Amino acid sequence: MALKVCKNCKKILEGTNKCPECDSEEIGESFKGKISVLNPEQSEVAKNLKLSKKGLYALRIG
């Protein structure tokens, strides 16, 4: 199954056309780079990217 990305919150999705994180239906198929956030409270990278929840996120939506 192809990975998709929410254009609103950058969450990487699999097999859905609606983001469970922000309820957006603005879904794209093109993105570059990904980051897995395991502990957003202690991650400097997550803070810089303004990610507050665990999950797999795209670095850039293309």
Domain boundaries, the chain: 3-61
User: What is the C-alpha separation between 49 and 55, in angstroms, rounded?
Assistant: 13
**Given this model, what pLDDT does residue 15 score?**
87
The tokens describing 42, both together, are: 């202690």
User: What is the C-alpha separation between 50 and 29, in angstroms, rounded?
Assistant: 22
Residue 15 burial (CB count, 10 A): 8
For each of the chain's 62 residues, which pLDDT tens digit applies? 789 999 999 999 998 999 999 999 999 999 999 999 999 999 999 999 999 999 999 999 98
pTM over 0.85: yes
The tokens describing 12, both together, are: 């990487």
**Given this model, what pLDDT does residue 35 score?**
96
CATH of 3-61, one of 3.60.20.10, 3.40.50.970, 2.20.28.90, 1.10.10.10: 2.20.28.90
